[in-house]
Amino acid sequence: MDNLGFIVAGYSLTWATLLWYSWRTNRRLGVAAHALSEWTESSDGLTDGYEADAPPA
Amino acid sequence: MSGSKKIWAGLGILAILGSLAFLIAGGLKENVVYFLTPSELLARGPEVVDQPLRLGGQVKPGSLQWDAEAMDLRFIVQDSLQEVQVRSTGAPPAMFQEGAGVIMEGHYRDDGTFESTNVMVKHSNEYEAPHDGQKSPEEMYESLVKPGDE
Amino acid sequence: MIVTSKSGLANVIGIAALALFLVGSFVGLFVVPADGMQGDIQRLMYVHVPAAWLAFLSFFVVFLMSVLYLIQRDLRWDRVAQSSAEIGVVFTVLTLALGSMWGKPTWGVWWTWDPRLTTTAIMLAIYVGYLAIRSFADDPDKRARWAAIVGIIGFANVPIVYLSVIWWRTLHQPPSSPRSVSPEILWTLMFNLAAFSVIYVYLMMRRIRLAKLEGELEQRMAYHG
């Protein structure tokens, strides 16, 4: 294949970008879901420390 | 506002924005010129001498001179009416060839030649596997200039 | 982590997207013959063109959802618009980067300010702006309203990006059509377009869910804090 470097770089970039974005979204989703479940627990009256359970900004 | 009023208001906004976009695009359509053709360049003559500009056309078959040692490239770029002598230093892109559509950045000098600092090769929107009777670069050139430009 | 029934469906779609794009990449790289004029570098078409089309689709969804939001004032539409804008930005960045990698060996330059490239850069700026503007409003309804206005006005540029190569002289070639592309290349392109569309659906499902959870968190914090 000629221009192999460009072709490999292009396909690698595409795969890396899409996998990274998917990973990032799923991770944020996990963080948000966790924060929300902690919230529900603390709102049930077990603790009052919901501010400490807020998700990282 | 009631629901139907909102819908009409929305449609109204859409109509206004649509026509605005149409006007802007229409205005741009007249004014956006990415490159000049050889005919346009020669018609404008002295006023464009030494001004930075882009020139686009077809590499005239048989006009190509390439001195690899001096990295000196000379060729004629043409449209259907006029032609301009081009000189350029540095190796041209791999797809550069006689008959190809090219766009150059540089300056038109008062000796009537175009001094190019950057040669770009246009390719067509046609894609097919290699076969006998390969499409000629001349056919590719047809996609360079819009119908009605010449 | 809360597992919902929706994430089960999303996972199935995600795996399908992965499989489709694996096949699409393999066919594009190793099976289909490359264009005779350009050689193998034309294989970048199978990622550059679908990325561009999905960017257009993403921003069309932003436009539709913005209109729907302004009519119904339902934050659900705003969350879909926000998600689609973010994914559209990812596809636009990919389109520009891949176009650059295709341009260098064929045109001879990484970048030029021709109308297609310039309007695409403007499109990216508009939707980065769309996402930025969202962070300036604390009130969800106000934020959704501002965003919707940008989402509608900003969309005016999208058809201009597409038509730029038809209206104006450009270095970029005009759009291909089934007449200008041989069948095996066309089918490979269509397959990859389908793969990218499924990727879009998967990313949208996850991103909308994230927006929903973040909205709920924001609501609780505002209520208690």
B 29-68: CB under 8 A from C:
29, 32-35, 56
Q: Do B6 and C70 touch (CB under 8 A)?
A: yes
Which chains pack against A, by 3+ Cβ pairs within 8 A? C
Over the stretch C184-221, which tens digit does the pLDDT of each residue have? 999 999 999 999 999 999 999 999 999 999 999 998 88
Predicted local distance difference test score (pLDDT) of residue C225: 58
Which residue numbers in chain B have pLDDT < 50? 1, 136-138, 140-141, 143, 147-150
- Under DSSP, the state recorded for B150 is -
Alpha carbon distance C45, B144 (integer Å): 20
Identify the residue with better confidence: B69 or C71. Answer: C71
Average pLDDT, stretch C3-18? 84
Among partner residues C71, C107, C168, which is closest to B10 by beta-carbon distance? C71
| Contact status of B121 with chain C (Cβ, < 8 Å) | yes
| Contact status of B91 with chain C (Cβ, < 8 Å) | no
Interface probe for B, chosen from C27, C32, C35, C37 (most Cβ of B below 10 Å), is C37
Which chains pack against B, by 3+ Cβ pairs within 8 A? C
Which residues of C touch chain B, with CB atoms under 8 Å apart? Answer: 32-38, 42, 45, 67, 70-71, 105-109, 112-115, 152-153, 156-157, 159-160, 163, 167-171, 173-177, 180-182, 184-185
Among partner residues C171, C182, C184, which is closest to B103 by beta-carbon distance? C171
Alpha carbon distance C224, A51 (integer Å): 9
Whether the Cβ atoms of residue A48 and residue A42 lie closer than 8 Å to each other: yes
Among partner residues C153, C167, C182, which is closest to B128 by beta-carbon distance? C182
Amino acid found at B47: E
CATH of domain B38-126+134-141: 2.40.50.140
Cα separation values, C24 from A12, A14, C91, C179, Å: 14, 12, 17, 22
Identify the residue with better confidence: C178 or B144. Answer: C178
| Contact status of C220 with chain A (Cβ, < 8 Å) | yes
Q: How far is C147 from chain B (nearest CA, A)?
A: 15
- The rounded average pLDDT for each run of 10 residues, N- to C-terminus, in chain A (57 residues) is 90 98 97 89 53 46
Q: How far is B51 from chain C (nearest CA, A)?
A: 17
| DSSP sequence for C90-152 | HHHHHHHHHHHHHHHHHTS-S----HHHHHHHHHHHHHHHHHHHHTT--SHHHHHHHHHHHHH
Predicted local distance difference test score (pLDDT) of residue B88: 93
* Contacts of residue C171, Cβ cutoff 8 Å, sequence gap at least 6: B34, B103, B120, B122, C103, C107, C109, C112, C114, C116, C117
Q: Do A3 and C47 touch (CB under 8 A)?
A: no
Q: Do A29 and C210 touch (CB under 8 A)?
A: yes
Alpha carbon distance A18, A11 (integer Å): 11
Amino acid found at C117: L
Q: Among candidates C45, C92, C93, which has minimal Cα distance to B124?
A: C45
Q: How many CB pairs under 8 A join A and C?
A: 90
Q: Do B34 and C36 touch (CB under 8 A)?
A: no
**Chain B neighbors of C45, CB-CB under 8 A:** 127
Q: How far is C146 from chain A (nearest CA, A)?
A: 22
Angle between helices C157-167 and C115-134 (to 10 degrees): 170
Instruction: Name the average pLDDT for chain C.
Output: 93
Predicted local distance difference test score (pLDDT) of residue C148: 96
CA C71 to chain centre: 25
Predicted local distance difference test score (pLDDT) of residue C49: 97
Predicted local distance difference test score (pLDDT) of residue B31: 62
**Chain C neighbors of B120, CB-CB under 8 A:** 107-109, 112, 171
Residue of chain B nearest C118, judged by CA positions: B34
Predicted local distance difference test score (pLDDT) of residue B125: 85
| Contact status of C41 with chain A (Cβ, < 8 Å) | yes
Cα separation values, C140 from B17, B57, C191, Å: 25, 54, 39
Identify the top-confidence range among B5-19, C16-30, C175-189: C16-30
Q: Do B128 and C185 touch (CB under 8 A)?
A: yes
Alpha carbon distance C107, B95 (integer Å): 7
Predicted local distance difference test score (pLDDT) of residue C137: 82
Whether the Cβ atoms of residue C215 and residue C75 lie closer than 8 Å to each other: yes
Predicted local distance difference test score (pLDDT) of residue C173: 92
> Is pLDDT at C55 greater than 70 in this prediction?
yes
